[in-house]
């Protein structure tokens, strides 16, 4: 780990994570430019303050001369900061424009943020939860929307971050330069499980990506339903709201609910069976269990039929 980096390296430093996108280098260079000048002026001002305090203390010299003007000095301390801020402005504007105008050949992925997970919908017609899979060295444009409140999409290694606001599309683009797996964070406080709104971006080589595309949309029929259900439970981060050990998180625990009778806030009751679970996944707002707030989003179009069957079988087992 390097304490200081003059950007000759793309590795992680004390200040910043690895540089894995085409503009990471540019963003970091500007950051270091501002950082080093700030350190320089900080030291200059602090040392200057102490020096002059010592130099002009009255016990040594008495009163100082009534000197109140120095044209050269005043021009210098006006022009130098002006030049520096102009450099920061034009440099920043150039990078800002680059980061905001996606190339025409960008691959597009639709992103939906909701409490408390990310879904990525591909043009090929399938949706991935909490995992964005992309090819390396190809511009990717994200068209983002929020289902509920304000979220913010952040990939530190790519140096990109964008608020995701309800009722409008937000754009973000980047080009990954290295195969690997990187973190996605939500950086806008969005409720109780905000800190668990985590995702991964998986950067694959072009050939691996094409291979992934072919298999991504196929439901693996060979996985036993229970295992598939458990996989879906983890992949879709169901655990942020539903525990499997009986503890109460945000929604009812899955442990021991199969075959019991649920009481709803509207006073009705219903047996937990296949249809009850199906309805809870597709139309979660229809029946709210007593003692809870109806915050669950619909998984209609996110989970496939076999995956819902898997979840049902998984819940049956959690006695």
In the complex, the residues that contact ligand CUA under the rule CB under 6 A are 113, 116, 151, 186, 188-190, 194, 197
Q: Which residue has the tokens 């879709």?
A: 236
| Closer residue to ligand CUA, CB minimum distance, 22 or 114 | 114
Cβ closer to ligand CUA: 151 or 159?
151
Q: Least CB distance from residue 113 to ligand CUA, whole Å? A: 6
Residue (241 or 277) nearer to ligand CUA, CB: 241
Residue whose CB is less far from ligand CUA, 41 or 189: 189
Where b means 16+ CB within 10 Å and e means fewer, 299-319 reads beebbeeebbbbbbbbbbebe
CB of 298 to ligand CUA, least distance (A): 18
Torsion, Cα of 228, 232, 238, 243 (10° steps): 20
The answer to whether the CB of 99 falls within 8 A of the CB of 158 is no
Of 196 and 227, CB closest to ligand CUA: 196
Smallest gap from residue 237 Cβ to ligand CUA (A): 12
Buried b / exposed e along 178-208 (16+ C-beta atoms within 10 A):
eeeebebbbebebeebbeebebebbbbeeee
Tell me the closest approach of the beta carbon of residue 182 to ligand CUA, in angstroms.
18
Q: Considering beta carbons, is residue 117 or 258 the nearer one to ligand CUA?
A: 117
Distances (CA, A) of 72 to 47, 69, 76: 21, 9, 6
Q: How far apart are CA 156 and CA 139, in angstroms?
A: 17
Least distance from ligand CUA to the Cβ atom of residue 170, Å? 13
C-alpha 82 chain-centroid distance: 35
State the minimum distance, in angstroms, from the CB of residue 185 to ligand CUA: 8
Task: Report the residue count for the chain.
Answer: 319
Closer Cβ to ligand CUA, 24 or 113, answer by number: 113
Q: Minimum CB separation from ligand CUA for residue 15, in Å?
A: 24
CA distances from 225 to 102, 128, 176, 235, 275 (A): 41, 19, 36, 15, 17
């Amino acid at each position: 780990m390097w304490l200081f980096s003059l950007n000759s390296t793309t590795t992680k430093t004390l200040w910043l994570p690895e540089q894995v996108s085409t503009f990471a280098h540019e963003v970091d260079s500007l950051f270091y430019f501002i950082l080093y000048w700030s350190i320089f002026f900080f030291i200059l001002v602090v040392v200057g303050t102490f020096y002059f305090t010592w130099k002009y203390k009255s016990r040594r010299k008495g009163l100082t001369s009534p000197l109140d003007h120095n044209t050269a000095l005043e021009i210098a301390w006006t022009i130098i900061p002006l030049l520096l801020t102009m450099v920061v402005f034009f440099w920043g504007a150039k990078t800002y424009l680059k980061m905001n105008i996606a190339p025409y050949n960008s691959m597009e992925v639709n992103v939906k943020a909701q409490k408390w997970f990310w879904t990525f919908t591909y043009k090929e017609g399938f949706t991935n939860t909490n995992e964005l899979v992309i090819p390396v060295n190809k511009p990717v444009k994200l068209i983002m929307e929020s289902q509920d409140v304000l979220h913010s999409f952040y990939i530190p290694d790519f140096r990109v971050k964008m608020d995701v606001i309800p009722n409008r599309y937000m754009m973000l683009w980047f080009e990954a330069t290295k195969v690997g797996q990187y973190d996605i964070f939500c950086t806008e406080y969005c409720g109780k499980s905000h800190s668990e709104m985590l995702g991964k971006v998986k950067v694959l080589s072009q050939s691996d990506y094409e291979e992934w595309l072919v298999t991504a949309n196929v439901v693996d029929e060979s996985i036993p339903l229970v295992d598939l259900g458990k996989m879906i439970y983890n992949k879709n981060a169901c655990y942020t709201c539903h525990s499997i050990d009986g503890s109460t998180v945000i929604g009812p625990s899955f442990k021991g609910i199969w075959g019991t009778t649920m009481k709803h806030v509207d006073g009705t009751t219903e047996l937990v069976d296949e249809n009850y679970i199906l309805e809870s996944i597709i139309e979660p707002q229809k029946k709210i269990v007593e003692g809870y707030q109806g915050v669950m989003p619909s998984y209609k179009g996110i989970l496939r039929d076999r995956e819902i069957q898997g979840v049902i079988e998984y819940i049956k087992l959690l006695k």
